[in-house]
């Protein structure tokens, strides 16, 4: 589905026949005059021809009502405005083109231009991204945004260049919490033995295992049925995704432990980047950055609305003592501090603004 209306009908470019109308034959013209008339006709044709449009295709897996998709539509609007219509962004939501992992692979070979994935999935392409999956990494939202918008965030966005993936901006994905179909999660011990769906992220797997759960990687599109049929006992995600996916219909307990705050990443394939000139790159980057400001506002509103909606539907919304979860995951953070790929970044983040 295109995120933009079709192009307006352009005025037809003049042809040599229409340009020649009204010119009365004067006999055999001198060669310089023939050359001059030909040059004028060529110049008129070139000036009247519409500028070529750089069309960019973006695929992602979220619903069209999701704040991420709405922000991407705004990115496309800004891109088209700033480029005077010479650049277009066509956005395809709901896994119309590919799953999250498939979108990344298509970016790498140049069959897709842009996508949005969780930073947790990026761990498989650039190890430095693992730092963002550290449990209880950020003190508050101000700390989180200062890191993501600063030097650490910029370094992370560019860390996947060797894999032909260029990060443009981070989108807010809030905090992830556990939700279950049977046993409610009030403290870390309640997770013991439960099969919890995780992303394909080594850090997410380690976190669930550290608390005693059975981490079960599973595609997002398969999760509703897996919860419904008892293939998994629960999962973890942010409130808007819990609501919009309708997982609350089969998982009736939401525990707001907020163990991680893993952002989303808007990515461009390096094949797209290489075919753009410097001005086009600047337009795209500025449109992405400004769309992220809108997305953060929409995200706050969506989180509040999602919690109200699932509570109204009868879901038990639990506010557990986070201190117990912080203590239960200290081993994960300690192991990451000693990891040469993420340890220095983790220490920088913990020290920033403290």
Structure tokens at 274: 């290489």
Quick one: 256 and 271 in the same domain? no
Quick one: 248 and 292 in the same domain? no
Per residue in 178-197, pLDDT (tens digit) is 999 999 999 999 999 999 99
Quick one: 66 and 148 in the same domain? yes
**Main-chain phi, psi angles of 197, to 5 degrees:** -70, 135
Answer whether residue 199 is part of any domain.
yes
Answer whether residue 216 is part of any domain.
yes
Quick one: pLDDT at residue 24? 38
Provide the residue range defining the domain that includes 65.
54-173+263-304
Report the DSSP pairing between strands 176-180 and 253-260. antiparallel
Quick one: 225 and 127 in the same domain? no
Quick one: pLDDT at residue 5? 37
CA dihedral for 187, 190, 191, 196, sign (positive or negative): negative
Answer whether residue 34 is part of any domain.
no
pLDDT: which is higher, 92 or 46: 92
Q: pLDDT class for 278, splitting at 50, 70, 90? A: very high
Quick one: pLDDT at residue 200? 83
Quick one: pLDDT at residue 39? 55
pLDDT tops 60 at residue 64? yes
Q: What is the mean pLDDT of the chain?
A: 88
Answer whether residue 1 is part of any domain.
no
**Main-chain phi, psi angles of 58, to 5 degrees:** -125, 125
Quick one: 187 and 140 in the same domain? no
Structure tokens at 112: 């897709």
Domain CATH code at residue 123: 3.40.190.170
pLDDT tops 60 at residue 83? yes
Residue owning tokens 């231009």? 113
Query: Are the beta carbons of 196 and 176 closer than 8 angstroms?
Result: no
pLDDT (mean) for 307-336:
97
Quick one: pLDDT at residue 22? 39
Answer whether residue 247 is part of any domain.
yes
Quick one: pLDDT at residue 29? 45
Q: How far apart are CA 9 and CA 115, in angstroms?
A: 30
Structure tokens at 233: 């006992």
Helix 151-158 to helix 343-351 angle, to the nearest 10 degrees? 150
In the chain, how many domains are there? 2
Quick one: 118 and 243 in the same domain? no
Q: Where are the alpha helices (DSSP H) in the chain?
A: 16-20, 31-48, 67-82, 100-109, 119-122, 141-148, 151-158, 202-211, 223-229, 239-244, 270-275, 278-312, 322-328, 330-337, 343-351
Structure tokens at 310: 């699932």
Quick one: 65 and 204 in the same domain? no
Answer whether residue 282 is part of any domain.
yes
Quick one: 182 and 252 in the same domain? yes
Quick one: 321 and 194 in the same domain? yes
Quick one: 299 and 334 in the same domain? no
Quick one: 85 and 231 in the same domain? no
Answer whether residue 16 is part of any domain.
no
Quick one: 108 and 182 in the same domain? no
Answer whether residue 58 is part of any domain.
yes
Residues whose CB falls within 8 Å of the CB of residue 71, separated by 6 or more in sequence, listed in order: 171, 291, 292, 294, 295, 298
Q: How far apart are CA 129 and CA 127, in angstroms?
A: 5
């Amino acid at each position: 589905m295109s995120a933009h209306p079709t192009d307006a009908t352009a005025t037809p470019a003049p042809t040599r026949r229409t340009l020649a109308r009204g010119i009365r034959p004067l006999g055999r013209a001198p060669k310089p005059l023939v050359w001059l008339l030909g040059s004028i006709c060529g110049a008129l044709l070139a000036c009247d021809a519409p500028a070529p449009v750089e069309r960019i295709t973006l695929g992602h897996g979220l619903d069209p009502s999701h704040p991420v998709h709405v922000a991407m539509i705004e990115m496309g609007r800004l891109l088209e405005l700033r480029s005077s219509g010479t650049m277009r962004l066509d956005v395809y939501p709901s896994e119309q083109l590919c799953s999250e992992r498939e979108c990344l692979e298509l970016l790498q070979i140049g069959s897709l231009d842009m996508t949005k994935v969780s930073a947790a999935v990026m761990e498989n392409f650039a190890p430095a991204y693992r730092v963002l999956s550290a449990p209880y990494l950020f003190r508050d939202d101000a700390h989180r945004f200062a890191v993501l918008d600063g030097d650490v965030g910029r370094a992370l966005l560019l860390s996947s260049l060797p894999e032909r993936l260029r990060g443009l901006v981070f989108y807010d994905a809030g905090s992830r919490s556990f939700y279950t179909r049977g046993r409610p999660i009030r403290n870390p011990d309640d997770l013991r033995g439960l099969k919890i769906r995780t992303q394909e992220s080594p850090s997410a797997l380690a976190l669930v295992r550290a608390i005693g759960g059975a981490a079960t990687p599973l595609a997002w599109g398969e999760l509703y049925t897996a919860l419904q049929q008892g293939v998994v006992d629960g999962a973890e995600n942010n409130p808007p995704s819990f609501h919009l996916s309708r997982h609350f219909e089969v998982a009736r307990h939401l525990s707001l432990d907020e163990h991680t705050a893993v952002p989303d990443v808007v990515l461009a394939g390096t094949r797209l980047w290489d075919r753009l000139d410097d001005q086009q790159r600047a337009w795209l980057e500025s449109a992405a950055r400004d769309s992220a400001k809108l997305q953060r506002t929409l995200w706050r509103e969506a989180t509040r609305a999602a919690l109200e909606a699932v509570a109204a539907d009868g879901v038990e919304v639990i506010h557990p003592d986070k201190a117990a979860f912080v203590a239960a995951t200290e081993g994960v953070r300690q192991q990451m501090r000693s990891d040469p790929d993420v340890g220095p970044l983790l220490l920088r983040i913990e020290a920033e603004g403290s």
